[in-house]
Structure 1
Amino acid sequence: MKDADVPLRGFHWRPGSTRETTGILLWNEVFLMTNSNGEEVAVLLMDTQGTFDCESTMKESTIIFSLSTMTSSVQIYNLMGNIKEDDLQHLQFFAEYGMLAQKESERHPFQKLLFLVRDWNWPYEREFGSCDGRALIASRLQIKDGQDTELKTLRQSIKSSFSDIDCFLMPHPGEKVA
């Protein structure tokens, strides 16, 4: 990003109704950063194909999501518009598959999960950004009295799979980008 007039290069993308990325792609450069604790950390960027397109099987989607989660300290779960119950169900399934593959008995086998809700349509309910995003994911994962056992188990499973869960609400980027 040295020259603002030079187009950025990186993972190939394009708008459209068909997928662009297949499999798992890793950036060919390691970025050394200093975290909030003053420690130097290595950052690798990963791009994966989306789940549940017309060309992916459930097995493919599960393997790709599980592998990327097992190899990432931060897993970004990119969702469009809202966090729906089926999104949570798929996440639980993928996480359980990854835990079986690891054969780990840790309390939280995975590190950070970030729900990225793009094209958030309800800024009058919750504002864009991380503060209201955190409030949204807390409400979606809340276990309530009288809640169906299946819904409680789903939420507990997700919470126990990740050491940290966060959320960011993002507006639509505009027609020139999308």
Structure 2
Amino acid sequence: MKTSAEAEFRAFVASRWPRMLRTAHLLTGHHHDAEDLVQAALAKAYVKWDRVRRADDPDAYVWRIMINTNTDRLRRTRLREWLTTRIPDTAAPDGADGVTERGAVLDALAQLPPRQRAVIVLRYLEDRGEREVASLLGTGIGTVRSHTARALRKLREHPGIHAAHTTGRPRP
């Protein structure tokens, strides 16, 4: 029995890892922090695997663990890290505009409060519906809508995104 649950968990991890890592990267803004976040969330899910696999939606259960783990991580962080548009490596000549725009988006996301950031990542970058986001965050649809409106307003006011919009490039 233990081995079948373990095999089921391994299959779950193998099939969800890329998407979880992408979501975690958008939540944290750093690849290494994203890997740590996914690993921490999966460790918590492994401990509760019997409960997780019996849940109506095991994916939602694990995503909620990941979001809550990220929120806890941010609460413990005393020194905030801010993303910059400067890249330590030499940029390749092609695609530099995309890197700059991506940096501006990541910087703007990093400056949002954790719940607003989670709502934006889940709604627009993970393409989830309001009900699903509300369920994942354990809140009401109205709260998701208000977080979305506030976060979008902050993102539009962010200098890097505002500059991209005013130079004629499509806004992220």
TM-score bracket for this pair, using the shorter chain length: under 0.3
Higher strand proportion (structure 1 or 2) = 1
Give the TM-score normalised by the residue count of structure 2.
0.27
Higher helix proportion (structure 1 or 2) = 2
